[in-house]
Structure 1
Amino acid sequence: MKTKFIFPIIFLLVTSLSFAQGFREKKEKVKALKVAYITEQLNLTTEEAQKFWPIYNAFDEKQAELRHEKMRAILDRFEPGSVEKLTEKEASTLLAQMETIEENLFALRKKFIKDLQGVISAKKIIKLKKAEEDFNRELLKQMREKRRG
């Protein structure tokens, strides 16, 4: 009798753990592809790469944290029908949180660019922005094609 309940629980646990691990592996694969793409697009020298990647990785991590924080704040409030339940004060508080996070993201990007200016040329910083956008666009395109196919 107990095995009827235990087996499905174990199955769900194993499935969710393997899904999480699969997600992490995919995330790492995408990150590796992004690193290779950016390195190629910027044509970094060995010296530039040694200085560039620690700055870039720190920026990328902090940016991901802020975006996650923003999404968590928003998603916690935006379940179906919950917007209508917000008081004006709660909505103002949520809006202020969102603005603060956006300001923090902007300040982070400004600091990132300033930090990079001592490492790579202004032209390569512009190329970096384009390379990131191109990579993200191509990634989304491939994801859409995979869903259709």
Structure 2
Amino acid sequence: MKQITLILATVFFSAISFAQKPDNHHEKIKTLKVAYITEKLNLTQTEAQNFWPIYNKFEDDYSALRDDVSDKRKDIDVDKISEKDAKALIKEMEQLYEKRYRLYQKYMTNLQTVLPAKKVISLKKVEDDFKRKMFEEYKNRHGNSKKSS
């Protein structure tokens, strides 16, 4: 019963989100992702309350580190960089990747304090399934809009 209430609440807030922010696709997707993960992992109310702050913090921190690595790579003019600067940049990127790895280790440790190990293991598959569904939906919508043009 609690699970159904949680899912219904999530769907309700999703609907409100869609109605209030028609142009904010990222928020819509995030809301759908929350509902999807909550349902597929069969999170209890207590698990969900403890899980989502950990998950969201990791997502934010990981995204910031990914952006840092991307910024380092895109600012490189390979034709003009000196060997010394290239080596320094490689070292800097290695440190960023190491930071990402340590962040992931901490995330896994934190998840195991609020979820059973089986749900932690299932999380990656559920996330991948969600991404695949979103990609398929995008292809379907994008393909259909091209055909009608």
TM-score of the pair, normalised by structure 2: 0.75
Q: Give, as a single letter, the amino acid of the residue that structure 1 aligns with 2:132.
A: R
Give the Cα–Cα distance (whole angstroms) in 2 for the partners of residues 94 and 40 of structure 1.
Answer: 43
The aligned counterpart of 1:66 is 65
The aligned counterpart of 1:10 is none
What does 1:98-117 align with in structure 2 at a 5 Å threshold?
98-117=93-112
The aligned counterpart of 1:45 is 44
Give the Cα–Cα distance (whole angstroms) in 2 for the partners of residues 99 and 106 of structure 1.
Answer: 11
| CA positional deviation for 1:36 | 1.0
Give the Cα–Cα distance (whole angstroms) in 2 for the partners of residues 91 and 143 of structure 1.
Answer: 38
Give the Cα–Cα distance (whole angstroms) in 2 for the partners of residues 95 and 144 of structure 1.
Answer: 36
Do the aligned partners of residues 113 and 88 (structure 1) sit closer, same or farther apart at CA in structure 2, a change above 3 Å counting? same
| CA positional deviation for 1:144 | 3.8
Do the aligned partners of residues 94 and 137 (structure 1) sit closer, same or farther apart at CA in structure 2, a change above 3 Å counting? farther
Q: Give, as a single letter, the amino acid of the residue that structure 1 aligns with 2:78.
A: V
Give the Cα–Cα distance (whole angstroms) in 2 for the partners of residues 93 and 139 of structure 1.
Answer: 39
The aligned counterpart of 2:25 is 26
Gaps of 5+ in 1: 1-20
Give the Cα–Cα distance (whole angstroms) in 2 for the partners of residues 99 and 144 of structure 1.
Answer: 35
Q: Give, as a single letter, the amino acid of the residue that structure 2 aligns with 1:76.
A: D
Give the Cα–Cα distance (whole angstroms) in 2 for the partners of residues 34 and 91 of structure 1.
Answer: 39
Cα-Cα RMSD: 1.7
Give the Cα–Cα distance (whole angstroms) in 2 for the partners of residues 26 and 113 of structure 1.
Answer: 28
2:43 is paired with a residue of what secondary structure? Answer: coil
Give the Cα–Cα distance (whole angstroms) in 1 for the partners of residues 93 and 33 of structure 2.
Answer: 28
Higher relative contact order (CA 8 A, sep 6+): 1
Give the Cα–Cα distance (whole angstroms) in 2 for the partners of residues 83 and 127 of structure 1.
Answer: 41
| CA positional deviation for 1:72 | 1.2
What does 1:5-24 align with in structure 2 at a 5 Å threshold?
22=23
Give the structure with higher Rg (CA): 1
Give the Cα–Cα distance (whole angstroms) in 2 for the partners of residues 30 and 145 of structure 1.
Answer: 16
Give the Cα–Cα distance (whole angstroms) in 2 for the partners of residues 137 and 87 of structure 1.
Answer: 41
**What do the CA deviations read for 1:83-132 (whole angstroms, capped 9, x no partner)?**
12221112112212221111111111110110111110110001111111
**What do the CA deviations read for 1:47-78 (whole angstroms, capped 9, x no partner)?**
1111111111111111111111111111111x
TM-score of the pair, normalised by structure 1: 0.75
